[in-house]
Amino acid sequence: MTPETEARLLARLDSIDAKLDYVVERQELVEDLIREMTPVAREALNAMAGQMQTWEDRGWFAMGHALIGLFDDLANAYGPDDVHELRGHVVQIVDTVRNLTQPEVLDLANEATDVLHHADDVQPVGPWGMAKAAGDKDVQRGMAVALEMLRHLGQASAHAKSGAPPRERPAPRETPAPSASPAPS
């Protein structure tokens, strides 16, 4: 071997040795990092697993899966134009839902559904029975509410057909007190 070849070979070995030292140093740093981070990662994974178990117990994953199915159904049934139109009405929809979910409205709706569920138990009433029932304060109050609702529905229907914005709702009308005379029997 010539001195020139030997010098090149030694230079090459020195270069390899320096690179190997660098790799070993980096490997030691990685091992130190792994040794230090393993307890932290284990703790984080345990906390995450616990939280995920809580979510599973509460049914969040099942709910999420059901919601994905719902969104899939919506995407298949409606197009982007429908979503844009819905977006323009979201505030009004939320206002309506807020009004519908007030406790007194829910109580009233619950009473109405109870009556409908037991409608077969109610005996038919003729004209005289209706006239007699009209003397009952609860029936009078119910008729006043029904008439006020019909008035607002009629106004809303007229505005919807004309395309004009609905006018501000007036305060409910005062209904006259029932007369003191007894209702016909």
Q: In a structure prediction context, what are the per-residue pLDDT tens digits for the chain, which is 185 residues long?
A: 899 999 999 999 999 999 999 999 999 999 999 999 999 999 999 999 999 999 999 999 999 999 999 999 988 999 889 988 988 899 999 999 999 999 999 999 999 999 999 988 988 999 999 999 999 999 999 999 999 999 999 998 888 777 766 666 555 555 455 454 444 44
What pLDDT is stored for residue 181 in this prediction? 47
The pLDDT, as a whole number, for residue 14 is: 93
DSSP string, the chain: --HHHHHHHHHHHHHHHHHHHHHHHHHHHHHHHHHHHHHHHHHHHHHHHHHHHHHHHHTHHHHHHHHHHHHHHHHHH--HHHHHHHHHHHHHHHHHHHHHTSHHHHHHHHHHHHHHHTGGGSPP--HHHHHHHTTSHHHHHHHHHHHHHHHHHHHHHHHHHHTPPPPPPPPPPPPPPPPSSPPP-
Residue 164: what pLDDT?
Answer: 65
Predicted confidence at residue 166, as pLDDT, reads 60
Considering Cα of 104, then 106, then 111, then 112, what sign does the dihedral take? positive
pLDDT of 180 reads 46
Task: Give me the count of residues in the chain.
Answer: 185
Please tell me the predicted confidence (pLDDT) of residue 7: 92
For the chain, the domains span 3-63, 127-170
Nearest CA to 142 out of 165, 108, 104 is that of 108
